[in-house]
Chain A
Amino acid sequence: MSRPSPVLAPAPTAVFLLHIGSMDNRLIGLSIERHWKQSIRLAQSLDEADVVLVDHDRPGVDEALNQLARHPGIGVVGYAFRPESLQTRFPHHLTVSKPLNLDALPGVLNRAALLGRPLQPVALTNMAIQESSEPRPWVSDEEPDLCGSLDDIPPSPGAPLPAKLFFEPTQYLIGHLAQALDEAIKTGRPHVVSGLPRLIGVPPLPQPVCVTSFRDTQLRPFSMAQLPDATARVVNALTFSGPGSTDTLHTAEDFLWNIAAWAARGRLPAGVDPYRPVRLRAWPNFTRTWAAPHALRIVALWTREWASPVEIARRLEIPQRYVFSAYTSAHFAGLFQPEPLAAISPPAQPANDVAPLIPPQRPSILSRILRKLLNAV
């Protein structure tokens, strides 16, 4: 009887990071080092690379790509905010959209390296909802609202809720930020989220603020992606010296609203009961925070009455994912009202006797003004 021959693991795909910014370089490098080293390794030069990863949005990308002329066998994976605009310019590149989804990236790199030919473009946005690491066809009408595509859950409690309705905040930047804010307020001392390419400082006084040199365009992909374990750490910042010349100062409420919305993408934090009534104590500062579709209507209604997220969606006749997104932001921004002493018991059945807020048949003057503002702004 012959002994089975040992199965040799395939050699890791060698990826060369070509023309990539220092922040992306660090994040991808960390991911490879901590999570993907069985399947991916960093190549030190183009000569040893199976595939290159290119940031198409950085100035000078054409000059960088000229280096590939001498390496025709290397697969190319590019990433850009608008990958569709690059398909004609770089028909032989696999172009994926920002923000990069780190769960899906190894699969994409491996496939580009193995196939050695152009692949169908894939979208890597909203991938925490699409938990698979398989690339999926790039959709030209990419959902711009960042609220995902989750189906509604039943209007009444009872049925098991889908796991994908929830996300675990501690796996995202929002969880670390919320922890930093809690610690800062509790101790009265600044805390810092470190481990990312730039720091986020959270001094608690006189009012909690978040200080960072991250720009919004950088923060959004970091907020949307699950961070590799132990990437971000919250530390007591004895040496935090306050905002520097390149830092931007945000109120903690505005900052956490945005980061939470980008992480949520239509989901709820783990442990939230979508049938439990809550009420907003205040409007968020919508001139400085990101407003998902229907966010103003949701907030207007939710500041008026106690209602569950599911009930708010029913009253406004909108998909629940938009309400879940607002819920998540308000939760982390601290905008929910504390429950009154008399506990509010969630209704067993939806309050069907409360009619949905249906706009009148003939647009009112309010609707016509709104239409004007929505179309013009």
Chain B
Amino acid sequence: MLSERVRHNKIIFSGTVGAGKSTAINALSDILPVSTEALATDEIAGMKKTTTVAMDYGVLNLPGGEKVMLYGTPGQERFSFMWEILSNGGIGLILLINNAQPEPLTDLENYLGAFSNFIAGTAVTIGVTHMDRAPAPGLDAYRARLAELGHTPTPAVFRVDARSRDDVAMLVKALLFTLNPGLSDA
């Protein structure tokens, strides 16, 4: 049976529908991610053919057999009850925002609000996706909104391609250094 400590080695990926949570976990995971994607049947159907209705699950295998779970929350708000359960005990939050959605800064605000308790005790880094086809708002607008919402110091906000392992890994590295800048990177 896994120890309590090991069970809590998890990083949470959350964010709006179509932001690339499943893709990001897929890019980083050492195993084929377990996904509960289903055919989209609601307003999401116009955006993507499938959507995560429960959670995604990937793993980072660490030397010595230890594992870090990568949990992706479902994007739709009707599943928001699951967010707190999934994030409980997690290391931190990777929040992905789809910049091509109509109100991405409002999405940012909503998700930060939903995870406020979790973030208060951990940290968050933000990946903005789909900026290639929707360049506005820019990263400075995200930073300004974060400052307005009282998130100081301003969390890292990166332009991200969720398919890129380098991009996703950079988000996680920034999360780790936000938690502890004293971590050795040598």
Q: Does residue A251 face the partner (Cβ distance < 8 Å to B)?
A: yes
Q: Does residue A23 face the partner (Cβ distance < 8 Å to B)?
A: no
Q: Does residue B182 face the partner (Cβ distance < 8 Å to A)?
A: yes
Report B-chain residues with C-beta under 8 Å of the C-beta of A371.
62-63
Closest residue of B by beta carbon distance from A356? B182
Give Cα distance in the complex from A209 to B152, angstroms.
27
Q: How far is the CB of B185 from chain A (nearest CB, A)?
A: 6
Residue contact B185 to A366, C-beta cutoff 8 Å: no
Residue contact A301 to B138, C-beta cutoff 8 Å: no
Q: How far is the CB of A295 from chain B (nearest CB, A)?
A: 9
Closest residue of A by beta carbon distance from B178? A300
Residue contact B174 to A300, C-beta cutoff 8 Å: yes
Those of A279-320 within 8 Å (CB) of chain B: 281-283, 285-288, 293-294, 296-301, 303-304, 316
Choose, from B37-45, B50-58, B158-166, the stretch at the interface. Answer: B158-166
Closest residue of B by beta carbon distance from A297? B181
Those of A353-373 within 8 Å (CB) of chain B: 356-359, 364-373
Give Cα distance in the complex from A296 to B155, angstroms.
12
Please encode chain B, from 147 to 176, with 1 for each CB lying within 8 Å of some chain A CB and 0 for all others: 000000111111111001111011111101
Give Cα distance in the complex from A293 to B173, angstroms.
13
Report B-chain residues with C-beta under 8 Å of the C-beta of A301.
181
Closest residue of B by beta carbon distance from A286? B170
Report B-chain residues with C-beta under 8 Å of the C-beta of A285.
139, 157-159
Report B-chain residues with C-beta under 8 Å of the C-beta of A293.
185
Report A-chain residues with C-beta under 8 Å of the C-beta of B179.
366
Q: Does residue A206 face the partner (Cβ distance < 8 Å to B)?
A: yes
Residue contact A367 to B183, C-beta cutoff 8 Å: yes
Q: Does residue B3 face the partner (Cβ distance < 8 Å to A)?
A: no
Number of A-B pairs whose CB atoms are under 8 Å? 118
Q: Does residue A159 face the partner (Cβ distance < 8 Å to B)?
A: no
Give Cα distance in the complex from A301 to B177, angstroms.
8
Q: Does residue B9 face the partner (Cβ distance < 8 Å to A)?
A: yes
Q: Using a Cβ–Cβ cut-off of 8 Å, how many residues does chain B contribute to the interface with A?
A: 45
Closest residue of B by beta carbon distance from A334? B140
Residue contact A366 to B183, C-beta cutoff 8 Å: yes
Residue contact B185 to A374, C-beta cutoff 8 Å: yes
Residue contact A377 to B157, C-beta cutoff 8 Å: no
Q: Does residue A207 face the partner (Cβ distance < 8 Å to B)?
A: yes
Residue contact B185 to A370, C-beta cutoff 8 Å: yes
Q: Using a Cβ–Cβ cut-off of 8 Å, how many residues does chain A contribute to the interface with B?
A: 39
Q: Does residue B136 face the partner (Cβ distance < 8 Å to A)?
A: yes
Residue contact A367 to B184, C-beta cutoff 8 Å: yes
Residue contact B158 to A286, C-beta cutoff 8 Å: yes
Report B-chain residues with C-beta under 8 Å of the C-beta of A294.
185
Report B-chain residues with C-beta under 8 Å of the C-beta of A206.
136
Q: How far is the CB of A207 from chain B (nearest CB, A)?
A: 5
Q: Does residue B66 face the partner (Cβ distance < 8 Å to A)?
A: yes
Please encode chain B, from 53 to 90, with 1 for each CB lying within 8 Å of some chain A CB and 0 for all others: 00000001111101010000000000000000000000
Residue contact B180 to A366, C-beta cutoff 8 Å: yes
Residue contact B143 to A287, C-beta cutoff 8 Å: no
Closest residue of A by beta carbon distance from B137? A207
Those of A319-367 within 8 Å (CB) of chain B: 356-359, 364-367
Q: Does residue B91 face the partner (Cβ distance < 8 Å to A)?
A: yes
Residue contact B170 to A300, C-beta cutoff 8 Å: no
Q: What are 10 sample pairs from A and B whose C-beta atoms fall under 8 A apart? A: A253-B140, A285-B159, A287-B171, A303-B154, A316-B182, A365-B91, A369-B62, A372-B61, A372-B62, A376-B169
- Smallest CB-CB A-B distances: 3 pairs: A357-B182, A300-B181, A300-B177
